[in-house]
Amino acid sequence: MEAGGRAFSVDLLERNGAKGHGIITCMAAGNDVILIGTSKGWLIRHDFGVGDSYDMDFAGGRGGDQPVHRVFVDPGGSHCIANVLLAGGAETYYTHAKWARPKVLSRLKGLVVNAVAWNRQQITEASTREVILGTENGQIYEIAIDEVDKKEKYVRFLFELTELPEAIMGLQMETATTGNATRYYVMATTPTRMYSFTGIGALDTMFASYSDRAVHFMELPGEIPNRQLHFFIKQRRAKHFAWLSGAGIYHGDLNFGAQHSSSSGDENFVENKGLVSYEKLGETTKPRSLAVSEFHFLLLIGDNVKVFNRISQQIVEDLKFDVVPDSAPIGIIGLCSDATAGLFYAFDDSSVFQVSVQDEGRDMWKVYLDMKEYATALAYCRSQLERDQVYLMQADAAFSAKDYYRAASFYAKVNYALSFEEISLKFISIAEQDALRTYLLRRLDNLTKDDKCQITMISTWIIELYLDKINRLLLEDDSISVDNAASASNNAEYQSVILEFTAFLSDSKDVLDEITTMKLLESYGRIDELVFFAALKEQYDIVIHHYVQQGETKKALEVLQRPNVSVDLQYKFAPDLIMLDAYETVESWMTTDKLNPRKLIPAMMRYASEPHAKNETHEVIKYLEYCVHHLHNEDPGVHNLLLSLYAKQEDDSALLRFLQCKFGKGRVDGPEFFYDPKYALRLCLKEKRMRACVHIYSMMSMHEEAVALALQVDPELAMAEADKVEDDEDLRKKLWLMVAKHVIQHEKGIKRENIRKAIAFLKETDGLLKIEDILPFFPDFALIDDFKEAICSSLEDYNKQIEQLKQEMEDATRGADNIRSDITALAQRYAVVDPDEECGVCKRKILSTGGAHQVGRGYIAVGQATPFYVFPCGHSFHAQCLIAHVTQCTSQIQVQYILDLQKQLNLLGSTAKNTGANTKDESASSTSSVDKLRSQLDDAVASECPFCGELMVKEISKAFISLEESEQMTSWLIKPVPSQKLLPMSI
C-alpha cells in the first residue's frame, strides 16, 4: 500500500498454541473462533467472542503420534470436521461448539479428508445442511449432520476422478436460487487440475449428470508444496477465487447472477480470469500457503507474508513475523482466514499470529486510476479531492485528444485540484467558445445554492456566450440574417442553439440580474428572447407593449389572461387593443370576471367615437349588455353609456327594451334602473326618440307630460300611458280626459263620424268617463240627436246599478235573519252525558258530587254534581280539571289571563255572599258581571277541546319529563356499585 499507513499488520496471538499436546499441524478459523490441530491428536478451540477455550482429545488415550491432518470450521464457528491420521489409516470426527466430546464419523473410516466445502447460504447453528468432503483418493462425498441427533443424517458418495486419479486438495461450493430451484456450483482442485461442477437440483443429481458428460476443468501442471483453493466471501456470497497452482496463482471473479454457457455446455460463473506467474513476485521460492482478501493475495514465502495486489499485480507490503528460531525450526507453516471476522492467521509449530486488515481499499482508487479505469476509480474514491484527481486526469486526457466538449464536462466536476480561472483560460486560449460554454453550464450544475454570486456571474457569462454563438451562426451563413428570420429557421443548428438559449433563460430566471440581462439581449437585437425573458420575470407590460406594436392582439390578450398578470394592465392597454381587434378584445373581456367595466369606459368611448358600418356588430354594446344582463353591473356610468349607444342607433327597439328592463327587480328595496333618468331624457329628446321620452316621463311619474307627448306620437300610446295610473282615480280620469279632448278636437273628419269615435272612446275607458264628461269638448252647435244613443246607454247603466244595490240590500236582510235564527237555536243545544262518563284529566266520573271539585260562584250546578264541560267531539272534563290542564299547556300570558278571571269570579262571589244584595238592581248588576266573566272564562278554556284542538298539536314540542320531575328521574338512575376486592378462599 502507499501513503496513509499500512493496511496489513502482524501481531503475536499466542506463543504456546499447542499447550503441550505436541506441535501445531493445522489450523482453521471462523467467526472469531480458531481451531488448532496438534501432532498428538488434540484439538484446541479458542473462542475470542466469549473469551473461552478448551481442549479435545481425538486420540482417545492412545499413545504415539496421531497428528490431526486437517481441521475445518464453518463460517459461523459452530461446526467442525477434523481428520486424524492413525497407524492403520485415518478417522474423521465431527464436533459442535456446544459439545464436550467429538463424534467419529464411522462411515468415513479410513478416508483421508483433504478439503471440505460448506453450504454458506443454508447452514445454521443446529444443522450443517449439505457438506461436501474431498478425499486423498479423489473421491467426493456429501454429508449432513444435526447437532441434536448427535450423529450424521447421511453420508452419500457423489463423484470420483477416474480419468486422472488425483487427491482432492481444495473444495468450494456456492449456491444460487433460480425460481423455486437451487443451482449448485462446485469448484474442486487437484495437484494439476481445477474442476467445475454445476447443475440444478440435489447434489447427488448434479454429480450423477456427469456420468454421461465431460467434466469442465483447467489444467495447470507444476510443482508446489501446497496447492490451495480459496473463495473471498463478502456477506455470505463468494466474490472471487484464487488457486495456488504449480504454474501460478489462477484467479477470477465469480458472478452467480450471470449464466454464460461454456464450450462444454455447462454454465460458467467465472469472469475476468487470469494467471499470476511467480516471476512477478520476484522470488525464487514458490509460496507455501495462500489467503485471499478483497483486493489482495497473502502469500507465505519463506518466513514472510507478501501482500500482492491482485488488481495492480504488484507486491504492496512485506510482513515479517516475530519468530524465535529455536522454537520454530521449520518456520511459518501456513495461513488461514476468518471470512466472517475479516481476519487472517498464520502459525508455526508452536505459535499463532494474527494478520489484521485496516481499510485495505482506501488507495484502490489510485490503482484503478493508473489503469485508466475511471468509473471504478470513482467508485472507490472517498473524498472530493480524490474524485477531483480522477476527473482531472479524465479531463486532461480528453483535452489532449481534442475532445473539448468531453473535457469541459470533466473539468466542470473539478473543485479543488484546479481553479475555475485556470480551466476557463484553457478554453479561451484555444478559442473554444462552445466548449467554454459547456464547461460553464456543467459548472453551474455542480454549484450549491449558497454560491449565489458565482452562479449569477457564470449565468451572465453564459448568456453572452450564447448570444455570441447566435451571431456567429448568423454571420457564417449568408442566407441567415437578422432581417430574414424565415431563412434562419431552416438552419437546424441555429434553431437548436435558440432552443437551448431559451431553455437556459427559463432555468436561470431566478439567478440572472434582470436589468443586465435585458440590456444584453437588447444590445444584441434579440427582441424575441427579450420578450421571452420579460415574461419569465413577469414584466408583462414590456411583453404586451411588444405584441401591441406588432399588431398581435391575440398574443397580447393571452398574456393578459394569465392569472398572475395585474388587472391594471388590462385597463392600460384596453384602448390600443380594442382599436386593433375589437372582437377578440371584447371576447377576452367577457371571459374574466375580474374587470371593472367602469375603468374600461375610456377605451369603449374611443371605439364608439369611430364610424361603424350599419350591419356591423357593435362590440362595445355587446360587452355592455354582457355586463348589465349577465354580470348584473349596477354602475350608473355603464348604464348611461349603453343608453347613449342605444339612443344613437336608427332602430329604437333596443333602447325601448333597455328602458323597460327592471334591473333591480327581486331585491329588497332595489331600484328599477341604474341610469340617470334626467340624462336619459335629455339624450332621448336630443336624438328625437319620442317613444323613449314618453317611457321616461312615465317612469318619473310625470304622467301628464307623458300623455301630452304621447298624443303627439300615437294616441294609442297615450291611452296606454293613461291606463298605467291605477292608485289615483282623479289623475287617471284627468289623463283620459286629455286623451278624449285630443280625440274629439284634433281628429279630422265628418262631425257625425267624430261623434261616433267619441262614443266608442267612452267604451275603452271602461266606465271611467261618462257622456256628460266629454260633452263640454264638443262645439255648441252639435245636435243632441247625435248623442241620443249614448245618453240612453248611460241611463240604462244607472238603472242597472240601482237594481244591483236593491238586490244586495235584500241579501243582507236575509243573512241577518239567518244569524238570529242560529243564535236562538244555539241557546237550545244540549248533549247527553253517560252516567259512567269519565273526566279526561282526572279519570273520575263526570257526574260526581261535592269534594274538591266544587268551584265558586259563576258555574251552573246540576243538583249536587260538580260543574263540567262537554265538547262536541265527546270528550268531557270537570271544570276545574279543564282549567288546570289548559293552564299547564298554554302560554304564560294566557295562563295569567285565566287566573285573573278566576280571581275576579271568586271576588264577586265572596262579596255577594258576605254583604248580600241590598236591592234588586244591585243583584241584577252583580249577576250580569258574573255572567260576563263566566263567558270570558269559557272562551279562554273551552273554546276547543284540549285533546282534539290546536292545544294538543302544540304539545308535540313539550318535553316528556318536566323540570319538576327531573329530581325524581335522577333518583331512578342506576349508579355503579363500587368494586370490592375479593380475597381468595382456601378450602
On whether the CB atoms of residues 694 and 710 are closer than 8 A, the answer is yes
| Residue 751 burial (CB count, 10 A) | 13
**For the chain, counts of helices (H) and of strands (E):** 33, 32
Residue 489 has pLDDT above 80, yes or no: no
663-694: pLDDT as tens digits: 655 455 556 778 888 888 888 888 888 888 88
Per-residue pLDDT band at 749 (split at 50, 70, 90): very low
Domain assignment present for residue 236? The answer is: yes
Domain assignment present for residue 22? The answer is: no
Lowest mean pLDDT among 670-674, 791-795, 872-876, 973-977: 791-795
Provide the mean pLDDT of the chain.
Answer: 81
Domain assignment present for residue 879? The answer is: yes
Query: Looking at per-residue confidence, does 967 or 912 come out higher?
Result: 967
Residue 72 has pLDDT above 90, yes or no: yes
Domain assignment present for residue 878? The answer is: yes
User: Is 475 exposed, middle or buried, given 0-12, 13-18 or 19+ CB atoms closer than 10 A?
Assistant: exposed
Residue 2 has pLDDT above 70, yes or no: no
Overall number of domains in the chain: 2
Tell which of 900, 919, 944 closes a domain: 900
Question: Which residues in 531-544 are b (16+ Cβ under 10 Å) and which e?
Answer: bbbbbbbebbbebb
Domain assignment present for residue 283? The answer is: yes
119-148: pLDDT as tens digits: 998 899 999 999 999 999 999 999 999 988
Residue 931 has pLDDT above 50, yes or no: yes
Q: Would you state the pLDDT for residue 61?
A: 66
203-220: pLDDT as tens digits: 999 999 998 888 899 999
Q: Would you state the pLDDT for residue 84?
A: 93
Helix (H), strand (E) at residue 406? helix 404-411
Domain assignment present for residue 252? The answer is: yes
Domain assignment present for residue 560? The answer is: no
**Angstrom distances, CA of residue 752 to CA of 744, 769, 777:** 11, 20, 14
> Where do we find the cell 368611448?
605
Query: Looking at per-residue confidence, does 745 or 968 come out higher?
Result: 968
Q: Would you state the pLDDT for residue 331?
A: 82
Q: Would you state the pLDDT for residue 790?
A: 59
Angle, helices 619-629/601-608, rounded to nearest 10 degrees: 140
Q: Would you state the pLDDT for residue 616?
A: 58
Domain range for 260: 220-358
Compute the average pLDDT of residues 329-355: 88
Amino acid at 311: I
Residue 760 has pLDDT above 60, yes or no: no
Domain assignment present for residue 201? The answer is: no
| Residue 700 burial (CB count, 10 A) | 14
Per-residue pLDDT band at 68 (split at 50, 70, 90): very high
Q: Would you state the pLDDT for residue 740?
A: 66
Tell which of 343, 358, 373 closes a domain: 358
pLDDT over 70 for what percent of the chain?
81
Q: Would you state the pLDDT for residue 542?
A: 87
Question: Which residues in 136-145 are b (16+ Cβ under 10 Å) and which e?
Answer: bebbbbbbeb
Q: Would you state the pLDDT for residue 832?
A: 83
Lowest mean pLDDT among 3-7, 530-534, 597-601: 3-7
Tell which of 358, 390, 412 closes a domain: 358
Residue 857 has pLDDT above 50, yes or no: no
Q: What are residue 551's phi and psi, to 5 degrees?
A: 75, 20
Instruction: Compute CA 167 distance to the chain's CA centroid, rounded to the nearest angstrom.
Output: 68
